[in-house]
Structure 1
Amino acid sequence: MFSSQILILVLATIGVVASQACIFQKSAVLATWRIENGALQIIYQNNRIKNNHWTAIGFGPGMSNMTVIVFMIQNGEISIRTGRTTGYGPPVFDNQSDLNVLAATHSGSILNAIVSVSLNFNGMNFQNCQTWNFVQSGPIKKGQMGVHTSRPDQFNNVCALNCR
């Protein structure tokens, strides 16, 4: 009897640890993250991103005040920018960013990027659990971000500190 209670406790503990997901995968997007050297490192892949399109991660529960990392492919060039949304529409980009781009490649329709941000990024404290939003794609027309082509995938209660 006692050993079965311990087994149940061990299995429950494993379930709690396993539920602390450090990965998101849906449609074209695959993202993993971990705390590395006191910063949040995000490995991001979108395997259906075309030239003159963008994809993004937004941090926060809604569009009115969300911190974002936007990955853009314009004229075959990759740019990664940070900013904040103020409602429905393109974000207001930061003049300078505390984002470190560790690697970024685009080949065919595949974007791979590794970025690192501080744990207190643009007022977003990653030491607390957050809602993350993954935008599959949106067009860039005349240098301006267009509306995303599908509803963002929301991933609630992401606790980055559990990913080491």
Structure 2
Amino acid sequence: MERELQFTHIDEQGKARMVDVSDKKASERTALAYGEIYMKKAVGIGIKNQTIKKGEVLQVARIAGIMAAKKTFELIPLCHVLALTKCEIDFSWNSDQLLTAQCLTKTIGPTGVEMEALTGVNVALLTIYDMCKAMDREMRITNVCLLEKSGGKSGDFISTNQVSDE
């Protein structure tokens, strides 16, 4: 049976609205988002060796991503204010030119944390770009996606997207 598409952020008159979640049961909810940034080899080596002039790139990016996840409701229209109980951003080098980022978010509440995880990973990658753009304006942020989510009425989700393993 095909699921009927419903636009929950639009009322009967076609006006935008924030979804009322006051009747939804609070549950533990998690989300894991992913993204990649490709860069020149010299930039990757500079980040690894902490020789980028603007400072310790990955620590600044980690803090920026966490701060952004906490403020998602201020950035994305109609998102609810959520009290995150956990937000972690991890980086992994696939090569000197490819850095991956993951943002894990968690809360106990009536609505999910997917947007917070996606916002966190995006801002972390944008911060890396900002701190290193003097060395490489052709950096590419790619493959940003939701990998997993758990909790809530819709249950668990695991993406079928394949992430890079270059």
Q: TM-score, normalised by structure 1?
A: 0.31
Higher share of residues assigned helix:
2
Q: TM-score, normalised by structure 2?
A: 0.31
The structure with higher relative contact order (CA 8 Å, sep 6+) is 2
Higher share of residues assigned strand:
1
